[in-house]
Amino acid sequence: MANPEFQYPHAAQLHPESIVVSAGRPARAAGAPLNVGIELSTSFHNDPAGNLYIRDMGSETTRAFEEALGALEGGYALAFSSGVAATSAVLDALVPAGGAVVAPWTQYSGTSALFAGAEEQGRLTVRWVDMADTDAATKAFDGAALVWIESPGNPMLSVVDLPTLVDVAHRVGAIVVVDSTFNTPMVLTPLGHGVDVVLHSATKYLAGHSDALLGCLVTRNANLERRLRTRRTQSGAMPGALESYLAVRGLRTLAIRMERAQSNAMELAIRLRAHERVTTVRYSGLADDPYHDRTARLHNGFGAMISFQVDGGPDHADAVCHAVRLITHATSLGGVESLIERRAMHALDAARGVPSDLLRLSVGIENVEDLWDDLSNALRH
């Protein structure tokens, strides 16, 4: 569905590690700043095209973030005030009234709640599937307006056969959206596999410091981009300039942060698997993980999220969360700091079959030995 006339906003064939540093900069000129500033204005002098207002056009700061992310993903990016706002825009702009959406049964609970709420209102219907089971999932695609994919899945860390799902979805006329928050463009660029729209909760890895609330959508399709942009304007979901500035600043170190976090995650996953009080480790970097081969074939890395289960049930899992000292017991993920929580403490996750003793660990960039000392001490409780 990509429009060949919808040119990408970067011409140089740079590696991602260079793009995160160089994209979204002001034009080079003598005396010009290296960085786009924080443009704190809601109104602008009118021009012949009409009245200019921040909700419609965004700030230079927001456009710098969009340019950088678009260059990374290989498309055009639209920033939103949150990941949920971006998800809402997809449903409102791309799913017709009464249309069917195919979505993973187990995924980010906020997305599931949003879809379920829209279904209760009669806005659309949802077909819940195990998206990692390719044969079973694709049987539900016929007649769907939208196929929503989250890979790796949150919090079970299942990985989908993306090219096959995209091919089948397009053959039946469905739009494909992938929530690639866990991957970041350093690990996977879904547009290269034919995906129509990529979603990120930029609050997580892209901004990377747990201090900015943003979402974003990226597409190569000019028609989809116009529809999503219009919906952003109509819903007032434009992010603020300060949040956009923090996202740009965070993006500059994305490559090195992901490199360190993934290295830490691999080492911790290996050690957790050998720990006597850990019963199951979910991390596709492990050679015996059921999704290892698929991830190795499609991704450029294994990410920095680990889910694991412990003996002693939910009480021991809670005890681990309360006993950590370097790792933080908190929700969210993708920051420089490591975070842990028991996901089944959330009612929707528990109702979707997430094991009561499963801990989701967002691995940060701390020293891996310090992380392991903290985690192994907590597991003794």
pLDDT at 50: 66
Q: 10 Å Cβ neighbour count for 287?
A: 8
Domains 16-251 and 255-379 share a fold: no
Which CATH architecture does the domain made up of 16-251 adopt? 3-Layer(aba) Sandwich (3.40)
Pairing of strands 197-200, 215-219: antiparallel
User: What number of residues does the chain have?
Assistant: 381
> In this predicted structure, what is the pLDDT of residue 31?
92
pLDDT at 1: 34
Per-domain residue ranges of the chain: 16-251, 255-379
Give the pLDDT confidence score for residue 55 in this predicted structure: 79
Residues marked as catalytic: 55, 108, 179, 204
Q: What is the pLDDT of residue 34?
A: 92
Whole-number pLDDT of residue 43: 81
Residues of the chain scoring pLDDT < 70 = 1-12, 50-51
Asked if residues 23 and 64 have their Cβ atoms less than 8 Å apart, the reply is no
Q: Distances in Å between the alpha carbon of 110 and those of 116, 178, 274, 287?
A: 10, 15, 33, 31
Q: Where are the beta strands (DSSP E) in 132-271?
A: 146-150, 175-179, 197-200, 215-219
CA–CA distance, 278 with 234 (Å, rounded to integer)? 49
Strand order in the sheet with 339-342: 278-282, 305-310, 358-362, 339-342, 328-329
Tell me the fold of 255-379.
Aspartate Aminotransferase, domain 1 (3.90.1150)
